[in-house]
């Protein structure tokens, strides 16, 4: 190898590491994103056998996933390049409006049925899964609402209360909390309840955790929480009165809660009968997921060697963690768990570096959403709870989910960049430590001169 070639390789390495070093966002989160995307590319290519058909090959699915990944990376980059926190805060205030509009469109001709319920809207060639967009949009909205509440900057409420005497009550903190924070949470939960009971519980829980992290006191949440319980009771009553025609997902949730009973019932049925086949179909997916985990062992079967992907229709989405363990073993599963846990731990460090309520709440809420959904997905795959349909963030198949979480990761990277820049600026503007101790530059120079004379024997 010649000197010129070595120099070129050295320059390439130098360029790459300079590029990495110039990335100002949190590099641990960047590494987590990279590993999740790598898992997604490999796992989607191997797990989507049942999606392939005469018209669409697995190579076509892989190419589609690569386009999705590139688009997601572009979204992350765009969010990362946003220079000011107020830009995120400005757009976040429309999160509830966007969520409400999408949930309303589900009940129009644009609504599309997904896995037995209308959960997506068709916008031309693009299918948008409503709940994937809603969960991220509402976290950002609540971060804005909590910030505005603490800074008393709800402009519309202030204008209405000052101009109209009958609306003076809008100036009270309790009413502001209800109108801007609790009412949107309740409205979104009811909207989601039409299509998924489990998503309602999960997303509603994440929203309440977010406002708690943001600083809303528990005593202020008790009354709205009771209201949510009452609303849920009314929805159950409507479900019963309508004979299951309205809020039909209650029936689905109940059937999933009694899944263990179905495991027992199938033993009493005659193999080959219609009843046996129906009971088998009901438990096939969770049972096959457990088989995949069992067969994966410690090291797994190896890439492309999964057998359960041929029996589980949703292996590439709802049961992706089981698939990863089957092909990559417990070692692969532990790596995936460590990625999500590390994200949560890293986000807590970013939160400490933020001095802005919006930034703190947004980072904490998004990290809890991503990690919480991942852990719930893993619990369900291990048969530790009823099926919820929650995907594995940034790994499971699905464009809407991938793009929504790309926005979430982009926001995390951007805010971490701003937090680091602020800390660096404060360090540069702070006085040197020796000056803080009362030692002046002249005194330091005199002391160094005296030390030099002593060591040279002139002292």
- The stretch 141-149 carries a mean pLDDT of 95
Q: Which residues contact 313 (CB under 8 A, 6 or more apart)?
A: 50, 285
Q: Give the model's pLDDT for residue 18.
A: 63
pTM of the model: 0.81
Confidence of residue 338 (pLDDT cuts 50, 70, 90): very high
What is the pLDDT averaged over residues 118-147? Answer: 92
Residue 210 has pLDDT above 90, yes or no: yes
Query: What is the reported pLDDT for 218?
Result: 87
User: Where does the pLDDT of residue 101 fall: very low under 50, low under 70, confident under 90, or very high at 90 and above?
Assistant: very high
The Cα 38–Cα 315 span in angstroms is 18
Give CA–CA dist 351/419, Å, rounded. Answer: 9
Banded model confidence at residue 235, pLDDT cuts 50, 70, 90: confident
Strand partners, 122: 127
pLDDT at residue 31 above 80?
yes
Q: How far apart are CA 22 and CA 441, in angstroms?
A: 33
Whether residue 47 is predicted with pLDDT greater than 90 in this model: the reply is no
pLDDT reading at 154 higher than 60: yes
Beta-carbon contacts of 302 under 8 Å, excluding residues fewer than 6 positions away, are 327
Please say if the pLDDT value at position 451 is more than 90: no
70 and 344 Cβ atoms separated by less than 8 Å: no
**Mean pLDDT score of the chain:** 80
- Return the higher-pLDDT residue of 267 and 459: 267
Backbone angles phi, psi at 303, to 5 degrees: -55, 130
Helix (H, G, I), strand (E, B) or coil at 25: coil
Spell out the alpha helix ranges (H) of 382-398.
none
- Average pLDDT rounded to a whole number, residues 105-125: 85
Give the pLDDT confidence score for residue 230 in this predicted structure: 81
pLDDT of residue 443: 47
- Which residues neighbour 279 within 8 Å (Cβ) at sequence distance 6 or greater? 262, 265, 266, 269
Q: 260, 388, 395, 270: which is closest to 321 by C-alpha?
A: 395
Q: Which residue has the higher pLDDT, 406 or 306?
A: 406
Does the CA dihedral 41-44-47-51 come out positive or negative?
Answer: negative
Q: What integer pLDDT is reported at residue 48 of this predicted model?
A: 72
pLDDT in tens, 260-284: 544 555 555 566 555 555 555 566 6
Mark 37-47 as b/e (b = at least 16 C-beta within 10 Å).
bebbbbbbbbb
Give yes or no for residue 50 having a pLDDT over 70.
no
pLDDT, one tens digit per residue, over 357-391 is: 899 999 999 999 999 999 999 988 887 766 777 88
DSSP 123: E
The pLDDT of residue 302 is above 70: yes
Ramachandran angles phi, psi of 123, nearest 5° = -110, 90
What pLDDT, in 10s, does the model give residues 172-205?
A: 888 899 999 999 999 999 899 888 888 888 999 9
Cβ–Cβ under 8 Å, residues 407 and 136: yes
155/37: higher pLDDT = 37
Highest mean pLDDT among 3-17, 331-345, 422-436: 331-345
The burial of 438, by beta-carbon neighbours within 10 Å (0-12 exposed, 13-18 middle, 19 or more buried), is given as exposed
More confident residue, 195 or 5: 195
Average pLDDT over residues 248-260: 55
Per-residue model confidence (pLDDT) at position 454: 47
Lowest mean pLDDT among 157-166, 188-197, 292-301, 446-455: 446-455
Supply the pLDDT for residue 434.
47
Q: What is the pLDDT of residue 174?
A: 87
Instruction: Quickly state the pLDDT bin for 44 (edges 50, 70, 90).
Output: confident
For residue 356, pLDDT beyond 80: yes
Contact status, residue 319 vs residue 293, Cβ threshold 8 Å:
no
Distance CA(264)–CA(35), nearest Å, equals 40
- Please give the distance of CA 324 from its chain centroid, rounded to a whole number: 19
- Span 69-95, pLDDT tens digits: 999 999 999 999 998 899 999 999 999
Please report the pLDDT score of residue 447 as a whole number. 46
* pLDDT above 80: residue 327: yes
Which pLDDT score is estimated for 448? 46
User: Does position 439 have pLDDT exceeding 80, yes or no?
Assistant: no
* Burial (CB count <10 Å: 0-12, 13-18, 19+), residue 446: exposed
Of 320, 303, 397, 326, which is closest to residue 66 (Cα–Cα)? Answer: 397
Tokens of residue 107, six digits = 């009940």
């Amino acid at each position: 190898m010649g000197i010129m070639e070595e120099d070129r390789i050295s320059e390439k390495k130098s360029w790459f590491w300079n590029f990495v070093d110039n990335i100002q966002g949190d590099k641990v989160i960047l590494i987590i994103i990279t590993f999740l995307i790598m898992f997604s590319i490999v796992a989607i290519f191997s797990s989507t056998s049942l999606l392939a058909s005469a018209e669409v090959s697995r190579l076509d699915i892989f190419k589609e996933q690569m386009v999705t990944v590139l688009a997601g990376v572009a979204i992350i980059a765009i969010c990362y390049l946003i220079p000011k926190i107020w830009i995120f805060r400005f757009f976040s205030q429309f999160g509830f409006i966007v969520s409400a509009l999408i949930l309303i469109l589900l009940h129009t001709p644009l609504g599309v049925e997904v896995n037995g319920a209308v959960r997506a809207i068709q916008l031309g060639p693009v299918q948008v899964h409503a709940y994937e967009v809603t969960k991220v949009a509402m976290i950002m909205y609540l971060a804005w609402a909590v910030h505005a509440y603490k800074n008393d900057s709800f402009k519309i409420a202030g204008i209405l209360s000052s101009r109209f005497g009958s609306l003076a009550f809008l100036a009270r903190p309790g009413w502001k909390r209800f109108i801007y924070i609790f009412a949107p949470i309740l409205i979104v939960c009811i909207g989601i309840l039409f299509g998924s009971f489990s998503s309602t519980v999960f997303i509603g829980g994440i929203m309440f955790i977010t406002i708690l992290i943001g600083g809303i006191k528990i005593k202020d949440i008790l009354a709205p929480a009771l209201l949510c319980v009452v609303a849920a009771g009314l929805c159950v009553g409507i479900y019963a009165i309508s004979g299951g025609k309205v809020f039909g997902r209650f029936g689905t949730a109940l059937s999933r809660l009694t899944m263990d009973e179905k495991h027992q019932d199938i033993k009493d049925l005659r193999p080959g009968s219609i009843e046996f086949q129906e009971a088998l179909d009901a438990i096939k997916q969770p049972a096959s997921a457990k088989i995949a985990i069992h067969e994966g062992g410690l090291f797994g079967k190896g890439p492309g060697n999964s057998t359960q992907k041929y029996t589980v229709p949703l292996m590439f989405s709802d049961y992706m963690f089981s698939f990863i363990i089957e092909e990559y073993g417990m070692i692969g599963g532990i790596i995936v768990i460590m990625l999500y846990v590390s994200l949560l731990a890293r986000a807590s460090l970013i939160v400490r570096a933020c001095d802005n309520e919006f930034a703190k709440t947004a980072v904490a809420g998004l990290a809890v959403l991503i990690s919480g959904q991942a852990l719930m997905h893993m619990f369900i795959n291990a048969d530790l709870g009823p099926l919820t349909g929650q995907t594995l963030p940034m790994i499971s198949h699905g464009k809407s989910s991938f793009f929504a979480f790309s926005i979430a990761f982009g926001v995390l990277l951007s805010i971490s960049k701003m937090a680091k820049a602020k800390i660096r600026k404060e360090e540069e503007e702070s006085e040197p430590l020796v000056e803080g101790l009362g030692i002046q530059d002249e005194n330091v120079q005199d002391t160094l001169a005296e030390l030099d004379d002593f060591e040279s024997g002139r002292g």
